[in-house]
Structure 1
Amino acid sequence: MNILAEMLLNEPAPMAIWAALMLLTLPALVVLANPEGVRNPRLALLETANFVRRYRERREARRARWRAEVARTARYAQEVRVAATRAAGAVERWQRHWQATADRVDAAGAVWREADARWTRSRAAAAFGAPWTPQDPAEYASRERFLHERVRAAVSRNELPVSALADVLAGRAGWDARLHPVEQELVVHRAVAEHLERVYRAAIAAERAAWHDVQLARRGRDSLRREAALAESRASSRTVTDLDADRAVRLADLHHGRA
C-alpha cells in the first residue's frame, strides 16, 4: 500500500474529498467511456446516478448490518455480565446459609452430647435400683404428675418434640406413668438423648446439602463469569471488525476510483 492509499484509509477528510471528486467526475468518465453515452448522454447520466444510488444503498446496508451485529453482541455481553453479578450475590447468600447450618450442627452436637452424658449418669444411678414406695392410688397419681412435668419441661426446652407430650398423656410410645420416678427419669433422659441425636443427624444432613448447593452456585457463577469474559471479548473484536470493514470499503472505493 502506497502513502496516498494509507492516508486515505486512516484520515477521513482526504477520503471524503477523494470520494466527492470521484462522484463529480464519474458521470463524465462514464459518458466518455461508453459510445452509447456519447450519443445519449442523458441516459448515461441516469444510469450512472442509479448505479451510484444502488452502490450507496448496498454500502449503507452492509454498515447497518455490522452496526446491528455489534450492538447485539455488546448487549449479550452486558446481559451475561449482569447474570454473573447476580450469580455472585447468590453464592454469597448460599454461603451464609451454609454457615448458619454449620453453626446449627455445632450447637446440636453440643446439646446432644450433654444429653447423652446425662442419660449415662441416669443409667448409673438406676443400677442401684429404685427405692420402695407404697403402691396406692395417691402414689400412682404422684408418679403420673411427675412424668407429665418432666416431659412438659423437656418439650419447653426443645429437648423433646411436642408429640411426646401427647404420647405421654395418652400413655403410648413407651411412656408408663406407673414406673418409679427414678425409672421415669431414666426414660425421659433416654428419650431426650435419642431425640437430640436425631436432631443432630438431621443438622449434619442439612449442612451437607447446603454445602452442595454452595458448590453448585459457585460453579454456576464461574461459568457465567467465563461466558461474560468471552462475550465481552467477542464484542470488542466485533467493534474492531466493524472499523476494519469500513476501512475495507474505503480501500475498495479507492481501487475502483484508480481503475
Structure 2
Amino acid sequence: MNNVVAEMLLTTPAPAAIWATLWILTLPAVLVLANPEAMRNPGQALRSLARFLRLPVGRGERKREAALEALAATQFAEEVRVAADRAELAAERWHERWETATDEVTEAWQAWLDADARLRVRRSAAAFGTPWSAQTPTEYAARERFLHKAVRTAAGNGWLPAAAVTDALAGRAGWDARLHPLEQELVVFRAAAGHLRDRYERAVAAEKTARHDATLARRASDSLRQEAWIAAARATDLRRLVPARLSITTAANEPAVAAVWR
C-alpha cells in the first residue's frame, strides 16, 4: 500500500500537490495542539505563528533572541528590585535596633550614675561608725528581715538581679544578716552600683554590635538598590531593541512558535 501511494505521488503531480497543501494547512493546528499554553488562546497562537512564518529565518531568529534577552533582563531586574526592597526593610529594622540599643546605653549610664550617687551618700553615713553586730536572736531576726526587704526593693527597682534575692535569703554571696542596717544598706548599694555598671558595659557592647550590623545592612541595601537601577536601565535598553510587533511574552510563553524558529 505504501508503494502504491509513493508511486502515485511520484508519477501524478496533482495528488502530490494536494498532499503538500493539506500538510501546510494542518501544520499550524498541529503546532497549536502540541502546546498546552497555546491551547488556552489558540487564536493568538495562530496569529503569532503566521506573523513569525512570514519572517526570514535569520531575521526571525535574531528578533527572537533579542526578545528572550530582553525578557531575561526584565525578569532579572524585577528580582533584584524585590531583593533591594527586602534589604531596605531589613536595613530599617537593623537601624531601629541600633536606636533601641543607643537608648539602652543612655538609660544604663544614668542608672549607674544614680547608683553611684546613692553609694557615695551611704558611705558618708557609714563613716560615723555603726553599732556592733546583733547580739540577741531578736536583733538578728530584725536585721535579717531588714536585709531581705532591702534586697527585694533593690531587685524590684532593677538595681540588682533577681538572683540576689535568692542569695540573700540563703545568706550567701556576701549577704550577712548580722550586720547593722546601715552596713547592710552599704552592701546593697555597693552591689547595686556594680551590677548597674556591668549592665552599662553590656549595653555599650550591644550598641557597638548593633551599630556594626546596621551599617552592614545599609551598605547591602544601597548596593542592591544600585544594582536594581542598573538592571532596570539595561532591561529598558534591551526592550527598545525589540520590534514593536514582536511580543516579549509571546517569545517566552509559546514553545510551539519557538520550535518553528529552531
Equivalence map 1:193-208=2 (5 Å): 193-208=193-208
1:149 aligns with 2:149: yes
In structure 2, what is the equivalent of residue 65 of structure 1?
A: 65
SS at match of 2:175: coil
1:96 partnered with 2:103: no
Runs of 4+ in 1 over 4 A off after TM superposition: none
- Residue aligning to 1:249: none
How far apart, CA to CA, are the structure 2 residues paired with 1:162 and 1:216?
36
Change (3 A) 1:134 1:70: closer
Q: CA deviation at 1:133?
A: 7.0
- Tell me which amino acid in the other structure corresponds to 1:78: E
Structure 2 match to 1:221: 221
In terms of fraction of residues, the more helix-rich structure is 1
* Letter of the structure 2 residue corresponding to residue 206 of structure 1: A
| 8 Å contact from structure 2 (residues 109, 200) kept in 1 | yes
Letter in 1 for 2:141: A
1:171 aligns with 2:171: yes
Q: Which amino acid in 1 is paired with 2:140?
A: Y
Whole-angstrom CA distance in 1 between matches of 2:169 and 2:140 = 14
> Which residue is equivalent to 2:131?
131
- C-alpha distance in 2, partners of 1:75/1:143? 76
Q: TM-score, normalised by structure 2?
A: 0.69
In 2: Cα distance, 1:167 partner to 1:111 partner: 23
Equivalent residues in 2 for 1:15-26, closer than 5 Å? none
* Count of residues in correspondence between the two structures: 197
Cα distance, 1:54 vs structure 2: 10
- Aligned CA RMSD, in angstroms, stands at 2.5
2: distance between equivalents of 1:96 and 1:54?
60
Shift of 1:58: 4.0
Uncovered stretches (5+) of structure 2, i.e. residues with no partner: 1-19, 21-52, 247-262
**Relative to structure 2, which stretch is displaced further, 165-174 or 61-70?**
61-70
> In 1, distance between residues paired with 2:134 and 2:72?
91
| Greater RCO (Cα-Cα under 8 Å, separation 6 or more) | 2
AA in 2 matched with 1:109: W
Shift of 1:71: 0.5
Q: Which shifted more, 66-75 or 81-90?
A: 81-90
Is the partner of 1:225 in helix, strand or coil? helix
**What amino acid is the match of 1:231?**
A
Higher-Rg member (1/2): 1
Cα distance in 2 between the residues matched to 1:132 and 1:74:
85
Any conservation in 1 of the 2:134–2:179 contact (CA below 8 Å)?
A: no
**TM-score, structure 1 as length reference:** 0.70
Report deviation, 1:187: 0.1
Distance 1:93 1:145 in 2: 47
Counterpart of 2:117 in structure 1 is 117
Inter-CA distance 111–65: structure 2 relative to 1 (3 Å threshold): same
The CA distance in 2 between the partners of 1:235 and 1:216, in whole Å, is: 28
Match of 1:105 in 2: 105
Structure 1 stretch displaced more, 130-139 or 174-183: 130-139
* C-alpha distance in 1 between matches for 2:159 and 2:115: 9
Take 1:54 and 1:116, find their aligned partners in 2: how far apart are those partners? 90
1:134 Cα deviation (Å)? 5.8
Q: Is the 8 A contact 2:134 2:180 kept in 1?
A: no
SS for the counterpart of 2:177 is coil
